[in-house]
Amino acid sequence: MLTIWGRKNSSNVMPVLWAADELGLTYDHKMVGGSFGGLDTAAFKAMNPNQRVPVLQDGDFVLFESNAIVRHLARSAGQGSLLPDGLQAQAHADQWLDWHKTTLTLPMIDLFWGTVRCEPEQRNPDLIAKAKAATDKALAILDDHLAGRDFMVMDRLTLADIPLGALVYRYYQLQIEHQDFQNLTAWYARLQDRPAYQKNVMIPFGTTLAEWNELERALV
Ligand SMILES: N[C@@H](CCC(=O)N[C@@H](CS)C(=O)NCC(=O)O)C(=O)O
């Protein structure tokens, strides 16, 4: 039996739960991290010395790093669905997963933590403006890539759509001015039609730290 460790409101856990549900996998889910705690136990540190979520456990096999887990699920159970067909399409999926971590995640973290996960009186408008500009610059690249395409690398949902799709939900829920990215919003609408996206990604997180904490406690 697979076990997925990690609180549902983590943008790194969401891709793993979403991928597992797209693949129809049966798994046990453990809500750890954030206010649920559980990352500082010896047993958890033995699985992930970084004390971060998500972690995938399958008997003696343990894996951390969200994109590595999504890749593993797609390779092991996603032939003809989440795993793109052919080495070149798989390489393009890898390219976008690396781009997600190196180019989009960093400014999105600053934007998210600078607005929602920060006491209102400690918000730093300069930091927020810089993070928003860098996020929009990255999203413009995504928007260009999605011109004339329904999904990131194939004409169906693959692993390349999953981590990016989770972050794009965050972007559109933030109380900021959103740029008019037409291809991106069309793709985002396609993702929102999927039950596994609705269940695992479209989780309200509020607009302030107090709301975030309250919504997190309501997750169980
Ligand atoms: N690169 C790691 C990052 C993992 C990470 O930073 N996870 C955060 C949640 S998004 C975490 O565990 N934070 C501590 C906590 O939730 O208590 C991955 O993609 O899995």
Domains defined for the chain, CATH in brackets: 2-77 (3.40.30.10), 87-213 (1.20.1050.10)
Q: Which two tokens stand for residue 42?
A: 């010896």
Strand pairing class (27-30; 2-5): parallel
**Per-residue confidence (pLDDT) for residue 2, from 0 to 100:** 98
The DSSP bridge partners found for residue 57 are 3, 62
> How many angstroms does the Cα of residue 52 sit away from the middle of ligand 1?
4
**Per-residue confidence (pLDDT) for residue 129, from 0 to 100:** 97
Sheet strand arrangement including 55-58? 27-30, 2-5, 55-58, 61-64
- Token match 């996998």: residue? 25
**Per-residue confidence (pLDDT) for residue 191, from 0 to 100:** 98
Banded pLDDT at 126 (limits 50, 70, 90): very high
**Per-residue confidence (pLDDT) for residue 33, from 0 to 100:** 98
Residues 20-45 pLDDT 10s: 999 999 999 999 999 999 999 999 99
- Token match 């705690």: residue? 37
> How many angstroms does the Cα of residue 149 sit away from the middle of ligand 1?
31
Q: Using CA positions, which residue lies closest to atom 11 of ligand 1?
A: 52
> How many angstroms does the Cα of residue 86 sit away from the middle of ligand 1?
31
* Residue range 104-119: mean pLDDT, rounded: 96
Q: What atom in ligand 1 is closest to the CA of residue 37?
A: 17
Judge if the beta carbon of residue 52 lies within 6 A of ligand 1.
Answer: yes
**Per-residue confidence (pLDDT) for residue 44, from 0 to 100:** 98
How many C-beta atoms surround the C-beta of residue 179 within 10 A?
A: 15
**Per-residue confidence (pLDDT) for residue 85, from 0 to 100:** 98
Judge if the beta carbon of residue 191 lies within 6 A of ligand 1.
Answer: no
> How many angstroms does the Cα of residue 184 sit away from the middle of ligand 1?
25
**Per-residue confidence (pLDDT) for residue 154, from 0 to 100:** 97
- Token match 């972007």: residue? 171
Q: CA torsion angle for 109, 66, 14, 154 (degrees, to 10)?
A: 100
Task: Answer whether residue 66 shows pLDDT above 90.
Answer: yes
Task: Answer whether residue 220 shows pLDDT above 90.
Answer: no
**Per-residue confidence (pLDDT) for residue 13, from 0 to 100:** 98
How many C-beta atoms surround the C-beta of residue 153 within 10 A?
A: 23
Judge if the beta carbon of residue 55 lies within 6 A of ligand 1.
Answer: no
- Taking the C-alpha atoms of residue 164 and residue 102, their distance in angstroms, rounded to an integer, is 12
**Per-residue confidence (pLDDT) for residue 194, from 0 to 100:** 98
> How many angstroms does the Cα of residue 117 sit away from the middle of ligand 1?
14
Candidate of 12, 50, 63 to mutate for ligand 1, largest count of ligand atoms within 8 Å of Cβ? 12
Q: What is the mean pLDDT of the chain?
A: 97
